[in-house]
Structure 1
Amino acid sequence: MIAGKKCTTNLGLNNRFQMAVRCPPSGPSDYHIRLCILGGHRLGQPPG
């Protein structure tokens, strides 16, 4: 989350973004987490 916040600062998305953490299905030896940053346009509620 800290790295994601630094990325949004570099992209100029100051306080106008949402982060979503995903854990996509993968093989038994390939565990990873994906951090999606949504921003750059007006976000509605619910997101999507």
Structure 2
Amino acid sequence: MGEIGIAALIALIAVVGVPLAMLGGGIVYVVRLARRGTRATLDGAVKRRELA
């Protein structure tokens, strides 16, 4: 793998991790929409924000 510094390793994790986290969140959202429907999903999000 060669000599990779700590800073380069952290940068690599950030560059790969951010898009993976966005993709994971998108998949969870789409699955939730498919199971519960659009209206119920959005109503749940509004309710959760009002309680917080």
Q: TM-score, normalised by structure 2?
A: 0.28
Work out which of the two has the higher radius of gyration on C-alpha atoms and give 1 or 2. 2
The structure showing larger relative contact order (alpha-carbon pairs under 8 Å, at least 6 residues apart) is 1
Q: TM-score, normalised by structure 1?
A: 0.29
Select the structure that is richer in helix.
Answer: 2
